[in-house]
Amino acid sequence: MTASAASPESCPVGPHRPFSSVLVANRGEIAVRVLRAAREAGLRSIAVASEPDRLALHSLTADMCAVIGDGPAAESYLDMDRVLAAARDAGAEAIHPGYGFLAESAAFARRVQEQGLVWIGPSPEVIEALGDKVRAKALARAAGVPVCPGYEGDVSDAAAVLAAATQIGFPLLVKAAAGGGGRGMRIVTAPGELAAALDSAAREAQGAFGSGRVFLEKYVEPARHVEIQIVGDAHGNVLHLGERECSIQRRYQKIIEESPSPVVDPELRARMGEAAVALAKEAGYVGAGTVEFLLGPGGDFYFLEVNTRLQVEHPVTEMVSGVDLVRLQFAVAAGEVLPRTTAPEPRGHAIELRVCAEDPAFQFAPQSGRIVYLRLPTRPGVRIDAGIRTGYEIPTHYDSLLLKLIAHGSTREQARTRALRGLADLLILGPQTNVAYLRAILEHDAFVAGDLSTSFIAEHMAGWAPDTRVPPEVLMAAAAGEFLGPRAAADVPEGDGAAPVPTAWYGLGSWRVVDPDDGPQKGSVS
């Protein structure tokens, strides 16, 4: 499943053809993940970086790296002209967008193809069709996929909207037709709230996505967020690789994901997989993507949306399916036929934790600053996808995700235990992180029982607060860092003009050294 190393001159004309080099138009842990897969596939790997990321891990992982602009994403990773110029100058034959930034930009995908490069993703037309939730729901209906009851008509007609809302029933959701991540979304519990919700959701959607179009949808509660991984090739084949449970969310952002879902049995998995495949075929989908569903308490499921890219949580699918999704993306983009069309049986269980630079004690405010010391777990069954290293300065311009800890076991409980032990081994001295919060979720009785819903955080974690005690082993680690000198731990030397490096004592704020058998998770130092 590797992309052919044929020269550009010998490649057939078309969007799917062999290539020998790939530029990754992203940063952080996903860029590292894709770049390493490229090198394993025998492809020349090219990174792009902003000035603050010049010495980031992804910049050092690639065969070559092009610095494309200043820190703000609009001046670097979101600048199509600069990314394409870097690809041209480096002689790249393909572009992998990762996720975020330009990954779901139909305009960027179109420009990539117009410049004769291979776009590792679905076509611009498919991105446009599925990126609009109203159009995506129409495609789902055409494919016979269950769709949540709603209203997608003219919301400026107050009488029609109220009549539709009454028929749908309260509570309901006002949702943005474009974008996601909870922006442009409002819960409406009574008719009197509807007009204000429509107005505020439209304004937020316009500012976030450039489109103020909104629609109504039934609010399913309690509900689970369950998604199906799909991959389609250019020969009309579509494969699904089972489901992921993504119900643990804070402010509509996923925190912990797992595969398989604790409540999805083989019969339901087959039905949801068939629905996802039918929608992908209806849309003419080529590449990796995710079809997202709401799963109700009675086993009914409803289509939510399609993410036309690789997901942050793709490693749990890889762990239970044995399929390298990035390598499969390369193969499909190179025009190869899928190696199989039937879903493999899940092998064990996998849980992913998103470790972020944020302070749970202060409303999860994003953090920045130097990683004074980093120790990653090396236990069996624990995988780390990281975008950081010791000595790296976390910029203020980007997403707060630092790394993902993925634990695999023969059972869900073994995976959960391994995840806890992986967190115990993980040590980051520097900015605050959410590690204590993740541990608290994993140890909660409802999580242990698999009793999950999209309301989990609101119901079970609202009163959580970190412990502020400093364990002695952290003091020892900080003392060791002070004795050795902070520069001794850095991977990359700095120039004479570099700013002073904070001492290890300065970085005590994000300690995380814990024993899984030592009672409640210790928290962070303020």
pLDDT digits (tens, 9 = 90+) for 428-470: 999 999 999 999 999 999 999 999 999 999 999 998 988 766 6
Q: Is 87 in a helix, a strand, or coil?
A: helix
- Predicted confidence at residue 14, as pLDDT, reads 72
- The CA R_g of the chain, rounded to the nearest whole Å, is 23
Two tokens at 268? 């339901």
For all residues of the chain together, what is the average pLDDT?
88
Amino acid 13: pLDDT:
54
Expressed in angstroms, the distance from the first to the final Cα of the chain is 49
Mapped onto helix, strand or coil, the DSSP state of residue 460 is: helix
Model pLDDT, residue 488: 38
CB neighbours (10 Å) of residue 519? Answer: 10
Close Cβ partners of 133 (under 8 Å, ≥ 6 residues apart): 175, 176, 177, 178, 215, 305
pLDDT at residue 479, as a whole number? 61
pLDDT at 518 over 60: no
pLDDT at 68: 98
- Is 418 a residue of the active site? no
Q: Is the pLDDT of residue 497 over 60?
A: no
Q: Which residue has the tokens 């990539």?
A: 112
Euclidean distance between CA atoms 148 and 138, whole angstroms: 11
Note the pLDDT of residue 526.
26
Cα(138)–Cα(122) distance, integer angstroms: 19
User: What is the mean predicted confidence (pLDDT) over 265-286?
Assistant: 98
Please tell me the predicted confidence (pLDDT) of residue 478: 59
481 confidence band (pLDDT: 50, 70, 90): low
Tens-digit pLDDT profile for residues 392-405: 999 999 999 999 99
Strand extents, DSSP E, 342-429: 349-356, 358-359, 365-366, 369-370, 373-375, 382-386, 393-394, 401-409, 427-429
The lowest-confidence range among 125-129, 151-155, 349-353, 509-513 is 509-513
pLDDT over 90, % of the chain: 79
pLDDT digits 0-9 by tens, 337-378 = 999 989 999 999 999 999 999 999 899 999 999 999 999 999
Domain 149-218: top CATH class? alpha beta
Choose the weakest-confidence range: 390-404, 405-419, 494-508: 494-508
When pLDDT is cut at 50, 70 and 90, the band that residue 92 belongs to is: very high
Largest CA distance in the chain: 72
Lowest average pLDDT, out of 9-23, 184-198, 241-255, 506-520, goes to 506-520
pLDDT at 522: 33
Catalytic one of 27, 33, 309, 370: 309
The β-bridge relationship of strands 238-250 and 224-232 is antiparallel
Instruction: Write down the pLDDT at residue 471.
Output: 63
- How far is the C-alpha of 92 from the C-alpha of 86, rounded, in Å? 8
CATH topology of domain 8-120: Rossmann fold (3.40.50)
Cβ pair 288, 325 in contact under 8 A = yes
**Percent of the chain as helix, strand, coil, to the nearest 5:** 35, 25, 40
Closest Cα to residue 247, out of 224, 264, 274?
224
Predicted pLDDT at 202: 94
Map out the domains of the chain as residue ranges.
8-120, 149-218, 348-526
Give dist(CA 256, CA 352) in Å, integer: 6
What integer is the mean pLDDT of 403-410?
98
pLDDT mean over 462-483: 68
* pLDDT at position 500 over 60: no
Tell me the pLDDT band of 517, cut-offs 50, 70 and 90.
very low
Superfamily (CATH H level) for 348-526: ATP-grasp fold, B domain (3.30.470.20)
Supply the angle between the helices 435-443 and 412-425 in degrees, to the nearest 10: 150
Taking residues 294-308, report their average pLDDT.
94
Which whole number is the average pLDDT over 27-38? 98
Cis before residue 493, ω within 30 degrees of 0? Answer: no
What pLDDT digit, counting tens, does each position of 70-89 carry? Answer: 999 999 999 999 999 999 99
Where do the DSSP E strands lie in 327-381?
349-356, 358-359, 365-366, 369-370, 373-375
